[in-house]
Amino acid sequence: MQETWRWYGALDKITLADVAQTAATGIVNALHEIPYGEVWKAEQISARAGEIRAAGFDWSVVESLPIHERIKRGEGDLTQLFANYRQSMANLAAAGVQVVCYNFMPLLDWTRTDLAAPVARGGTCLRFEAYRMAAFEIHMLGRTAAEDDYPEDVRKRAAIWFQRSSHADRDSLLHAIMSGLPGAYDRYDVDGLKQALTLYDGFDRAALRANYKRFLDEVIPAAEELGMRFCVHPDDPPRDILGLPRIVSNADDIDWIMSSVDSNANGLTLCSGSLGANPANDVPAIAAAHADRIHFAHLRNVRKDPDGAFEEAAHLEGDTDMVALIKVLLSEENRRRNAGLSDHNIPFRPDHGHELLTDIGQGAFPGYPMIGRLRGLAELRGVISALSHGV
């Protein structure tokens, strides 16, 4: 497996020289400064690729080539947006970048309510607290339908938290929820989020699936021609949120996606943390079922609570059997190698590490500290090395 590291370019406090000391060989990167829907120009891609390669890395994966919200909503004439997307794909392929990780989550990316929840023995982690999310939806957004999305005990705790919270507490919660949006763009305030949500009024799971199928039909044939591999990232958290449907949350969803366009170019980013936050998901079993379509892996772990809350655990300490999962990935690599496939290596990266030691206060992107991810990479490297002797 190829060890990679997510790097945010000029927006990142962590430099490529820092990353080099991890011994990872690949970089996962995107041109976050380009607005959604615009073409990634060849010269922009070439400049970024040159920077990465000059530092001694491969640009292993694009994460991500974002999908405009109008495509997700199926709104209006999308001809130009799809043409722009395919042109960006062609420009990436010309620069030698072949793997594209993306998601189809409406409006928001990954969502947490706490960016610095305390960890036993020191450090902090990302956490999704069910009652705080309920407080945000019910009491701050005033989304009355959210009452039906949370059990009574969670709603009661949400009401108590809201009554006791200060303006600073509420601002902190909003900031945490908005922090999953990548890039350098402004985040929503409460009124802005309310307005954005109106664009999805009456939008349901069937509508989102139809628009996703259209997206796949528009881009996967181009990916096949370009020799590219697309890999969808699961929803995070894997549940409907803010009244918006999520359609990449469980084994049935992934079965539907892989069968809807049956092509090796239509693949999966195996994110063990996102899938692991759903109690119904057996992550190693999902990986085994779709091993031949896994083109990228995010290896992280979560610890779940009965009320729907979860937090980022150490990579080998959460609810997912990481050793069993890595064994599936190594076995698939071995199958590809024996089949003579040149691209048999599956790139992976340690994901959402704890903030530890000098990470704290450094201003790294939430979930992407230096030392916490390096600890995760070291642990994963050890598992891979041990298992490789038996694969």
Question: What integer pLDDT is reported at residue 202 of this predicted model?
Answer: 87
| Separation CA 251–CA 190 (nearest Å) | 33
Q: How far is CA 2 from CA 26, 193, 270, in A?
A: 7, 39, 14
Question: What integer pLDDT is reported at residue 184 of this predicted model?
Answer: 47
Per-residue pLDDT tens digits for 156-190: 999 999 999 999 999 999 999 998 766 545 678 89
DSSP helix/strand/coil, 347:
strand
Among 266, 279, 286, residue whose Cα is nearest residue 328: 286
| Separation CA 44–CA 52 (nearest Å) | 13
Question: What integer pLDDT is reported at residue 185 of this predicted model?
Answer: 58
| Separation CA 297–CA 222 (nearest Å) | 23
Mean pLDDT of the chain: 95
Mean per-residue pLDDT, 292-297: 98
Question: Is pLDDT of 72 > 60?
Answer: yes
Q: What is the DSSP string of 232-295?
A: EPPPSSSS-BTTB---SSSHHHHHHHHHHS--TTEEEEEEHHHHHTSTT--HHHHHHHTGGGEE
Lowest-confidence region among 11-20, 56-65, 140-149, 179-188: 179-188
**Identity of the amino acid at 329:** L
Q: What is the DSSP string of 152-191?
A: HHHHHHHHHHHHH--HHHHHHHHHHHHTTS-SSPPPP-HH
Q: What is the CA radius of gyration of the chain?
A: 20
Question: What integer pLDDT is reported at residue 179 of this predicted model?
Answer: 87
Enumerate the β-bridge partners of residue 268: 232, 294
Which domains are seen in the chain, by residue range? 2-107+203-388 (3.20.20.150), 114-198 (no CATH)
Among 236, 276, 281, 255, residue whose Cα is nearest residue 101: 236
Enter the tokens of residue 325: 């999962």
| Separation CA 289–CA 174 (nearest Å) | 37
Per-residue pLDDT tens digits for 112-127: 999 999 999 999 999 9
Question: What integer pLDDT is reported at residue 155 of this predicted model?
Answer: 96
- Chain-centre distance for alpha carbon 101: 8
| Separation CA 132–CA 124 (nearest Å) | 18
Among 71, 109, 139, 73, residue whose Cα is nearest residue 241: 109
Per-residue pLDDT tens digits for 315-348: 999 999 999 999 999 999 999 999 998 889 999 9
Asked whether 4 and 27 are in contact (CB, 8 A), the reply is yes
Per-residue pLDDT tens digits for 190-244: 999 999 899 999 899 999 999 999 999 999 999 999 999 999 999 999 999 999 9
Q: Is the dihedral of CA 346, 352, 353, 358 positive or negative?
A: positive
Q: What is the DSSP string of 116-135?
A: EEE-TTS-EEEEE-HHHHHH
| Separation CA 299–CA 140 (nearest Å) | 33
The alpha helices in 187-245, defined as continuous H runs, are 190-198, 205-226
Catalytic residues: 233, 271, 298, 351-352, 368
Q: Over pLDDT 70: what percentage of the chain?
A: 98
The pTM assigned to this predicted structure is 0.94
